[in-house]
Structure 1
Amino acid sequence: MSIESKNIELDCQFNKGCDAIELLIQPRAKDLGEFSVRRTLPTTERKMVGPWIFFDHMGPATFPAGSGINVRPHPHINLATVTYLFEGEILHRDSLGSYATITPGDINLMVAGKGITHSERERPEVKNIEHTLHGLQLWLALPEKDEEIDPAFYHYPSASIPAVNVNGVPIRVLMGSAYGLTSPVLTYAQTLYVEAHMQTGQTLELANCEERAVYVAKGSLKIKDTVIPEFSMVILSEADGVVVEATAESRIALIGGEKMAKRYIEWNFISSRKERIEQAKQDWLAGKFPKVIDDEHEFIPLPK
């Protein structure tokens, strides 16, 4: 997705929790016209969790025939985008010539590196009927040594993502290693991304890493006496043996990884260097980014 303004941080409420909880973030939905998003990273209180610097929850939304996702070509640098859907599909095109339809359970990993342009739309056969969309899009900050690598695109079908049942809880390890499994999805720093589907009353001990957070995409959780409501993210401490309990049928995402140095962010650009972002802005204004193949005629202007 593309950011709609220079200011990337949306409005959120913040609360402190028990000793296992550093921060509880409750985002307010932002209406984008035909659907809404909830953004929990970055915020004024917390910019990153491990290498994760952006976390958007899209939908759930139902589109009438003739409408849907229609994100025009836009640029990125020095990051990788990760798209994961619960429902619906998105058509990805980019300046490398990639053409991929992401469907529920797949992982799309787009590595911007020194610069890439992409669009996110829908196939006509999807757009021309009533359809739904529900999913998550995250951005990873690339380590400084990898910020200017060549751009790349990787599509991992659902069947390639490892899954396990832990005490009755079905878990998918989308990125990194946890619960005895290792995902095939490429990482550049220590990275964790796990999805779990919990029934009311089930408990799950969370995998450890240097920094981590849990997002409740559906349902609600409890950590000791702290309730984690639907559409909220809880930033966790480094305490071992943190257990979550589902107080309703819940779909959750556990993200984390190694602590990263400060990143600067403006619009769709992320970098460890302010001057690199300024260069990217001028390059986009001057038309120096490569165009999206087979989607060359539109673009999103740099916000004023």
Structure 2
Amino acid sequence: MSNIHTIIPERAADIGNFMVGRLLPFRKKRMVGPFAFIDHMGPAQLSETENLDVPPHPHVGLSTLTYLFEGSMMHRDSIGSVVEIKPGAVNWMTAGKGVVHSERTPEYLRKEKKSLHGLQIWVALPKDKEDIAPSFHHTPKEHVPQWEQEGITIKLIAGSAFGKQSPVPVYSELYFLELSSNARSTVRLGKDLYGESGLYILQGAIHSDGHRYEPKQLLVAKDSSLCEFEMEKDSILYIFGGTPFPEERHIHWNFVASDKETIQKARDDWQAQNFPKVPGETDFVPLPK
């Protein structure tokens, strides 16, 4: 982008039995618009005896967005949702005042070789929505808006941009876009974006102001209205952002809130196992010390 403010490297993080690349939060940039947390999962090749198993764990004050490039994941939550997430579909779970969910390799794949690759994202809720009832929405791949523009294929995974609206039920002004190129192309998005913008390169490279940027880094723009760059052939990248909230957001473990008291209450409730349960699951992730 022609006005890069911050370059955030992808950093290794351990989420139990799986290593990920953490992008947000970052010490110099905690959020981009309402986006508070982004993990890049994989790409990982799992053997017949290796599986993803993230036991039930809680969230408050946010919506989770799961988007896979490869593989499959079984989502179960305390609302009663049971959905297999496949590449290109969008899983959107709003925690609000409190939800619990697990993420596991589907049963039919547990004794086979498999791959897993995707993004796990948290979007903070507006202050007046932090205590709403939890909800869940699954958008199949074929319902995600997609179009061609100046040699670029664009998918609007969530939010609004380019006069279009994703069916994912977001609660604030935001956008999450996938751009892919089959030839070297100039991308001019300034008039179609708003608020703060981040750009994550999954594959290939981009050129901006004489610099070449490759995967495993997140570029944050000073001004989304000046978003212009060149994509190399066969590149894939994600642009996300939106209007930032006027209040600071506190993030602790799996909890996001505009006040620390809400986070402390969530900690106490999870310690006492006062959160709702995921039907059919008995284990859980303990509260970290």
Normalised by the shorter chain, which TM-score bucket? over 0.9
Query: Alignment partner for residue 108 of structure 1, among 91, 94, 98?
Result: 91
Deviation at 1:219, TM superposition (A): 1.8
Quick check: 1:136 aligned with 2:119? yes
SS in structure 2 of the partner of residue 176 of structure 1: strand
Instruction: Report what 2:106 is aligned to.
Output: 123
My pick for the range that moved more, 28-37 or 173-182, is 28-37
SS in structure 1 of the partner of residue 225 of structure 2: coil
Quick check: 1:69 aligned with 2:52? yes
What amino acid does structure 1 have at the position aligned with 2:235? S
Quick check: 1:301 aligned with 2:270? no
Instruction: Report what 2:41 is aligned to.
Output: 58
Instruction: Report what 1:219 is aligned to.
Output: 204
Instruction: Report what 1:187 is aligned to.
Output: 170
Instruction: Normalising by structure 2, report the TM-score.
Output: 0.95
* 8 Å contact from structure 2 (residues 196, 224) kept in 1: no
Structure 2 unaligned regions, length at least 5: none
Mapping of 1:31-110 within 5 angstroms? 31=14, 35-110=18-93
What amino acid does structure 2 have at the position aligned with 1:219? G
* 8 Å contact from structure 1 (residues 221, 248) kept in 2: no
Q: From the superposition, tell whether residues 133 and 269 of structure 1 become closer, same or farther in structure 2 (CA, over 3 Å).
A: same
Structure 1 unaligned regions, length at least 5: 1-17
Distance 1:248 1:23 in 2: 25
What amino acid does structure 2 have at the position aligned with 1:47? R
Deviation at 1:214, TM superposition (A): 0.5
Distance 1:150 1:32 in 2: 27
Deviation at 1:82, TM superposition (A): 0.4
* 8 Å contact from structure 2 (residues 197, 224) kept in 1: no
Instruction: Report what 2:260 is aligned to.
Output: 274
**1:2-56 alpha-carbon deviations (Å, 9 max, x no partner):** xxxxxxxxxxxxxxxx861111111222355754211111110001111100011
Quick check: 1:255 aligned with 2:240? yes
**1:41-82 alpha-carbon deviations (Å, 9 max, x no partner):** 111000111110001100000100121210000000011000
Distance 1:149 1:32 in 2: 27
Distance 1:241 1:40 in 2: 22
CA RMSD of aligned residues (A): 1.5
* 8 Å contact from structure 1 (residues 19, 237) kept in 2: no
My pick for the range that moved more, 220-229 or 69-78, is 220-229
* 8 Å contact from structure 1 (residues 218, 251) kept in 2: yes
Distance 1:215 1:257 in 2: 15
Distance 1:236 1:203 in 2: 17
Query: Alignment partner for residue 284 of structure 1, among 249, 258, 270?
Result: 270
* 8 Å contact from structure 1 (residues 49, 212) kept in 2: yes
SS in structure 2 of the partner of residue 240 of structure 1: helix
**1:211-230 alpha-carbon deviations (Å, 9 max, x no partner):** 11100112221222232220
What amino acid does structure 2 have at the position aligned with 1:234? L
Distance 1:156 1:239 in 2: 27
**1:134-188 alpha-carbon deviations (Å, 9 max, x no partner):** 1001101100100000000110101111100011211100112223422111111
SS in structure 2 of the partner of residue 281 of structure 1: helix
What amino acid does structure 2 have at the position aligned with 1:87? E
What amino acid does structure 2 have at the position aligned with 1:269? F
**Corresponding pairs, count:** 286
Q: From the superposition, tell whether residues 35 and 203 of structure 1 become closer, same or farther in structure 2 (CA, over 3 Å).
A: farther
Deviation at 1:234, TM superposition (A): 0.4
Deviation at 1:244, TM superposition (A): 2.1
Distance 2:193 2:137 in 1: 27
Q: From the superposition, tell whether residues 29 and 198 of structure 1 become closer, same or farther in structure 2 (CA, over 3 Å).
A: farther
